[in-house]
Amino acid sequence: MEYTNRYGDVFTFTKQEDGSVLWEGSFEHCRFGSSNDYKLAYQNYCKDSSGMGITPMHIEDFKEAIHESVYDENDRYVGPSVIGKQYQNFVKSNPWISMVDPSGGPFINEHSKLDIFGEELKGLCVQLFEPIETGYKIITNGDF
């Protein structure tokens, strides 16, 4: 399958026998990144909360709370939230690439469905990306 982005760059998506997808094209101007791993931060938060007799918040709420900031009455940044101050140093980046965004698109990240690039990719969801010489090998799983 071919995809042409807004700058006219052509990318190909080729499903492999193992269920992965080769994503090939020009990645000369591209950004990529890794998702956060909140496991250690959340474990420490839950341990501390339980020790104080407090029911811990759900992990999804924790992921938001850890990034909240405090502002003064003039809307000037004061610092991180109490949760952020105490636990953000425990948040680490996952060791795999979870997002690739070539200039002009397409932006693809973990959990993205690949069926928008062709019927042959229906039911495939991005797990992670492995760099290869011609682009990326997209490791997939079923629908997220």
Label residue 143 by pLDDT band (50, 70, 90).
Answer: low
Percent of the chain with pLDDT strictly greater than 90: 97
Residue 73 CB partners (closer than 8 Å, separation 6+): none
pLDDT in tens, 66-114: 999 999 999 999 999 999 999 999 999 999 999 999 999 999 999 999 9
Closest CA to 98 of 42, 31, 15, 144: 31
Name the pLDDT band for 61 (thresholds 50, 70, 90).
very high
**pLDDT grade for 9, boundaries at 50, 70 and 90:** very high
Predicted pLDDT of residue 92: 96
Question: Contact, 132 vs 13, CB < 8 A?
Answer: no
Token pair recorded at residue 13: 């998506």
Q: What local confidence, expressed as pLDDT, does residue 142 receive?
A: 77
Q: What are phi and psi of 3, to 5 degrees?
A: -135, 130
Name the average pLDDT for the chain. 95
pTM passes above 0.75: yes
> Residue 133, by phi and psi: left (phi above 0), alpha (psi -120 to 50) or beta?
alpha
Is the pLDDT at 144 greater than 90? The verdict is: no
